[in-house]
Chain A
Amino acid sequence: MILGSPGERALLLGNEAIARGAIEAGVHVAAGYPGTPSTEIIDTLAKVADRIGMIVDWCVNEKVALETAYAASMCGLRALATMKHVGLNVAADVFMSIGYSGVRGGLVVVSADDPGCHSSQNEQDNRYYSLMSYIPCFEPYCPQEAKDLLTTAYDFSEKYETAVLFRVTTRICHTRGDVVLGEIRRIERKAEFTYNPSRWVLLPVNSRKLRVKMLERITKLEDVLSSFEFNRLEGEGKVGIIASGIGYAYTRDALKALGLWGKVRVLKLASSNPLPAKLFRKFIESVEKILVVEEGDPFVLRRVKEKLFDLGVQIPVHGKGDYLPVAGELDLFSVMRAVARLVGVEVKEPSESISLEEKLSGKIPTRPPTMCPGCPHRATFYAIKQAMKELGERIPCTGDIGCYTLGFNPPFQLQDTSTCMGASIGEGAAIARFTGKPVVATIGDSTFYHAGVPGLINAVYIQAPLVAVVMDNGVTAMTGHQPHPGTGMTATGKRSKVIKIEDISRACGVEFVRVVDPYNLKETIQVIKDALEYAKRERKPAVVVARRLCALVAARKGLRGKPPVVEDCRGCMVCVNTFACPALIVEDGKVKIDEGLCFGCNVCTQICPFGAIRVRK
Chain B
Amino acid sequence: MMETIVISGVGGQGILTMAKIIGYALVKKGLRVRVAEVHGMAQRGGSVVTYIRYGDVDCPRPSHGMAKALISLELLECTRYLYLLKRGGIVISNDWIYPPNVPGVSVPSKEEIVKLIEENTGKLYLIPANKIADSLGPRLIANTVILGSVAKLGILPLSKEELLESLKKNIKHKYLEVNFRAFDEGYKAV
B is a partner of A: yes
Q: Are A11 and B33 in contact (CB under 8 A)?
A: yes
Whole-angstrom CA separation of A576 from B103 in the bound complex: 7
Tally A-B pairs: CB < 8 A.
176
Q: Are A370 and B2 in contact (CB under 8 A)?
A: no
Task: Spot the interface stretch: A173-181, A482-490, A556-564.
Answer: A173-181
- Which residues does chain B contribute within 8 Å of A176, judged by CB atoms? 19-20, 23, 33-35, 37
A552 to chain B, nearest CB (A): 9
A223 at the interface (CB under 8 A from B): no
Whole-angstrom CA separation of A403 from B19 in the bound complex: 25
From the candidates B56, B60, B87, name the one contacting A256 in the complex (CB within 8 A).
B56
**Interface range on chain A (Cβ under 8 Å from partner):** 35 or more
Task: Spot the interface stretch: A245-253, A283-291, A497-505.
Answer: A245-253
From the candidates B10, B38, B62, name the one contacting A174 in the complex (CB within 8 A).
B38
Q: Are A582 and B33 in contact (CB under 8 A)?
A: no
Q: Are A365 and B83 in contact (CB under 8 A)?
A: no
- Which residues does chain A contribute within 8 Å of B100, judged by CB atoms? 365-368
Q: Are B32 and A363 in contact (CB under 8 A)?
A: no
Q: Are B45 and A582 in contact (CB under 8 A)?
A: yes
Could you jot down 12 A-B contacts, CB within 8 Å?
Answer: A118-B38, A119-B41, A175-B34, A176-B20, A249-B60, A330-B61, A367-B45, A370-B44, A370-B46, A372-B45, A576-B103, A582-B101
Q: Are B64 and A370 in contact (CB under 8 A)?
A: no
Q: Are B40 and A118 in contact (CB under 8 A)?
A: yes
Whole-angstrom CA separation of A152 from B104 in the bound complex: 55
Whole-angstrom CA separation of A254 from B66 in the bound complex: 13
Q: Mark A163-181, 1 if CB is under 8 A from B, else 0.
A: 0000000010011111000
Q: Are B63 and A333 in contact (CB under 8 A)?
A: yes
Q: Are A363 and B65 in contact (CB under 8 A)?
A: no
Q: Mark A143-178, 1 if CB is under 8 A from B, else 0.
A: 000000000000000000000000000010011111
Q: Are B44 and A334 in contact (CB under 8 A)?
A: no
Residue among A174, A372, A403, A479 having the largest count of chain B Cβ atoms under 10 Å? A174
Q: Are B101 and A332 in contact (CB under 8 A)?
A: no
- Which residues does chain B contribute within 8 Å of A580, judged by CB atoms? 101-103
Whole-angstrom CA separation of A310 from B163 in the bound complex: 57
From the candidates B47, B60, B63, B102, name the one contacting A409 in the complex (CB within 8 A).
B102
Q: Are B76 and A367 in contact (CB under 8 A)?
A: yes
Q: Are A119 and B44 in contact (CB under 8 A)?
A: no
Q: Are B37 and A174 in contact (CB under 8 A)?
A: yes
Whole-angstrom CA separation of A371 from B104 in the bound complex: 17
Q: Are A368 and B46 in contact (CB under 8 A)?
A: yes
Q: Residue of B at shortest CB range from A13?
A: B37
Question: With A175-B60, A329-B61, A580-B103 in contact, is A118–B41 under 8 Å at CB?
Answer: yes
Question: With A36-B39, A177-B33 in contact, is A367–B77 under 8 Å at CB?
Answer: yes
- Which residues does chain B contribute within 8 Å of A462, judged by CB atoms? none
What residues make up the interface of A, taking CB atoms closer than 8 Å to B?
9-11, 13, 36-37, 39-40, 118-119, 141-142, 171, 174-178, 246, 248-250, 252-254, 256-257, 329-335, 350, 352-354, 356-357, 360-361, 363-372, 403, 406, 409-411, 478-480, 576-577, 580, 582, 596
B36 at the interface (CB under 8 A from A): yes
- Which residues does chain A contribute within 8 Å of B2, judged by CB atoms? 253, 256-257
Q: Are A360 and B83 in contact (CB under 8 A)?
A: yes
B52 to chain A, nearest CB (A): 9
Q: Are A370 and B101 in contact (CB under 8 A)?
A: yes
Q: Are A364 and B80 in contact (CB under 8 A)?
A: yes
Whole-angstrom CA separation of A577 from B10 in the bound complex: 22
Q: Are B46 and A367 in contact (CB under 8 A)?
A: yes
Task: Spot the interface stretch: B105-113, B151-159, B171-179, B180-188.
Answer: B105-113
Q: Are A356 and B83 in contact (CB under 8 A)?
A: yes
Tell me the B79-102 residues at the A interface (CB within 8 Å). Answer: 79-80, 82-85, 87, 99-102
Q: Are A360 and B79 in contact (CB under 8 A)?
A: yes
Q: Are B59 and A252 in contact (CB under 8 A)?
A: yes
Q: Residue of A at shortest CB range from B78?
A: A364
Q: Residue of B at shortest CB range from A12?
A: B27
Whole-angstrom CA separation of A431 from B101 in the bound complex: 32
Given contacts A367-B46, A478-B40, 18 further A-B contacts (CB under 8 A): A11-B20, A11-B35, A37-B40, A119-B40, A171-B36, A175-B35, A252-B58, A257-B2, A332-B63, A352-B65, A363-B108, A367-B77, A369-B41, A369-B45, A369-B46, A370-B46, A580-B101, A596-B139
Q: Residue of B at shortest CB range from A479?
A: B40
A361 to chain B, nearest CB (A): 8
